Amino acid sequence: MSINHKSIFLKVKEYNGNPIDEYNKISSFLNKKCYYNYSIYSLLNDNFQCSTLLRINYIDFDNCLNSVIKNLDVYADSDFSYLEEGTQEILLDDFLTYCELITHIYFVTYNNYIKRIWDDTHFDKNIYIQLIDLIKASLKSMNHDIKMIDDDTSEVLAIKCNPEAESVAEQSPTSLKEAIIYYLGSRDNDLEEKENRLHKIIDLLEPILKKYKELDAVKKVEEYVQLIRHSELKKNEEHYKWFFENKGDYIDDIFMMCIFVKEYEITKTNIKKFESLKKE
């Protein structure tokens, strides 16, 4: 197995957009006035205390954002393409968290305040809507999207775009659906967390892996998922040295193997429904 193996997920240097340029766009847009002399930022700041998720850890919106924008501000005038890969990944991580925070407070503010002034002629709803469109476009330029996780709390998650995995998630039981979405929301610079989230998916798929264990393709998947489930035992085996020396290069591929196994079961089940087209 070659150590030059390339993940099916795009890496930060392969994105069309970059965290610095997109951060500058969004932070600038937040200063636009949308209600009398109130900027979007002012409205979000005024409604920060309505966030049950953030108010227990931060005193206000400024304090919350400052916890993630320090690096983005430091490199705000830099050419992203010339930065070291490690720095690029840190900036991407910070930018994704920044988008999550802004989007979360955006919906909290909408639910707790904007709904009441929506039809006020002094409120520019187009500017307010444009903010979420801008965030989505920025994330899309870096192969990401924003996903609502909990409607009640307005919790959101920035996830890697993967239509196949997202489609499988939508057709899966709630526990597996959530596990898949949370994996897509994992960060590449936190390998331990990615592995933990993949482990959860593998555990949930165990019945399916057993059910189709006689299929050659599934046998291979079963072999590789053991490298995650029993890594302490497997890492000393010479046969798998290539994997543990470059684990980060293979985690996403094992994730997609799991997706393909679930997809196989979904397809097989759906086809069975159409064994006969004859109407009784």
Output DSSP code: residue 15.
Answer: -
64 burial type by CB count under 10 A (0-12 exposed, 13-18 middle, 19+ buried): buried
What pLDDT, on a 0 to 100 scale, did the predictor assign at position 58? 94
Share of the chain above pLDDT 90, in %: 79
Tell me: pLDDT of 143 over 50. Answer: yes
Residue 275 one-letter amino acid: E
Distance CA 185, CA 205 (A): 19
Q: Residue 181: which H helix or E strand, with range?
A: helix 174-184
Q: First and final CA of the chain: distance in angstroms?
A: 53
Spell out the long-range contacts of 131-134 with Cβ–Cβ below 8 A and sequence spacing 24 or more.
131/26, 131/29, 131/30, 131/40, 131/102, 131/106, 132/103, 132/106, 134/25, 134/26, 134/29
More confident residue, 9 or 205: 205
Tell me: pLDDT of 110 over 50. Answer: yes
Q: Residue 192: which H helix or E strand, with range?
A: helix 191-211
More confident residue, 25 or 8: 25
Q: Residue 114: which H helix or E strand, with range?
A: none
Q: Residue 268: which H helix or E strand, with range?
A: helix 251-272
| Beta strands, E only, 36-124 | 38-39
- Specify the range with the lowest mean pLDDT, choosing from 21-25, 151-155, 242-246: 242-246
What is the value of pTM for the model shown? 0.89
Distance CA 47, CA 102 (A): 12
More confident residue, 213 or 273: 213
Among 34, 64, 46, which residue's Cα sits nearest to residue 132? 34
- Give tens-digit pLDDT for 221-253: 999 999 999 988 888 888 899 999 999 889 999
33-35 and 144-150 beta bridge pairing:
unpaired
- Give tens-digit pLDDT for 39-79: 999 999 999 999 999 999 999 999 999 999 999 999 999 99
What pLDDT, on a 0 to 100 scale, did the predictor assign at position 1? 31
Band the pLDDT of 269: cuts 50, 70, 90.
confident
Q: Are 34 and 128 in contact (CB under 8 A)?
A: yes
